[in-house]
Structure 1
Amino acid sequence: MLDQMITRFGTSARASIATVANGTGYFAVTPEAPYDASLSMPEQARQLFAKAEARLAEIGSSKGQLLFCAIILKDVSEVAAFNAVWDEWVADVAPPARACFEANMANPALKVELIMICTVPDSSPAADV
């Protein structure tokens, strides 16, 4: 059996901010903390995409390497507004597969959250980061 190579990024007692295993990266993205309930969902989405790009770079990937994105909206009636921001963000790459859900959020100030899976082309980890 092959040993699975796993690298965890930003590990705390509760979770890692990202995990890479066998060339695939996994992570969730929320708006900037502390969450600002006065921001509109599209403004929070823009924060998510900026954080996603930074996280992708940190693990050695990019938005062009995204395989799948789960989009979680507090209010699914805002999907058209989300799609407008999404379409701008993926305009320069082949977009990943995606699914969109409505859900209660753990924090009432959150309006959108993303779960992303990507390839990590050179993922030969030396140790946990």
Structure 2
Amino acid sequence: MSSDFSSIIRRFGVGQRGSLAVVHQGTGYFACTPQAPYDGSLSIAEQTRQLLAKAEGRLAEIGSAKEGLIFCAIMLADMDDYAAMNEVWDDWVSGIAPPARACFEARLASPDLKVEMIMVSAANAA
């Protein structure tokens, strides 16, 4: 038996395997990577800047902004990149109350990916 949740769940960029973002009861959920196709020759700082620019666009699309971030899980392909990623992150959250966050090393889907983030934010429920 199938239920229709379209009145309480908004989905953005629906694809075969998943949606780019989902909003339910005023909370938005999405994962973000640097620009595709991924360029492994870019530094972690450059990939992080790309990712955060993409995240800002996704936040705007769901009716939010970086000030609305609640939580961010940061996955690095190599923890040796932690300090360089943090420099970009710290600049990005400068001037706002930053979200709760966790950072860990993970094997990412492409060897060219150096960073990926999962974000949860307050979002426009309309």
Query: TM-score range with shorter-chain normalisation?
Result: over 0.9
Q: Which runs of 5+ in 2 are unaligned?
A: none
SS in 1 for 2:111: coil
Question: Which stretches of structure 1, 4 residues or longer, exceed 2 Å deviation after superposition?
Answer: none
Aligned residues: 121
Distance 1:64 1:10 in 2: 23
Distance 1:45 1:23 in 2: 27
* Amino acid of the structure 2 residue aligned with 1:43: E
Distance 1:59 1:32 in 2: 19
* Amino acid of the structure 2 residue aligned with 1:79: Y
Distance 1:50 1:92 in 2: 17
Give the corresponding residue for 1:13. 16
Q: CA RMSD in A?
A: 1.1
* Amino acid of the structure 2 residue aligned with 1:63: K
Matched, 1:29 2:32: yes
Q: Which runs of 5+ in 1 are unaligned?
A: 125-129
| TM-score w.r.t. length of structure 2 | 0.93
Give the corresponding residue for 1:62. 65
| TM-score w.r.t. length of structure 1 | 0.91
Shift of 1:77: 1.5
What is the aligned-residue identity percentage? 60
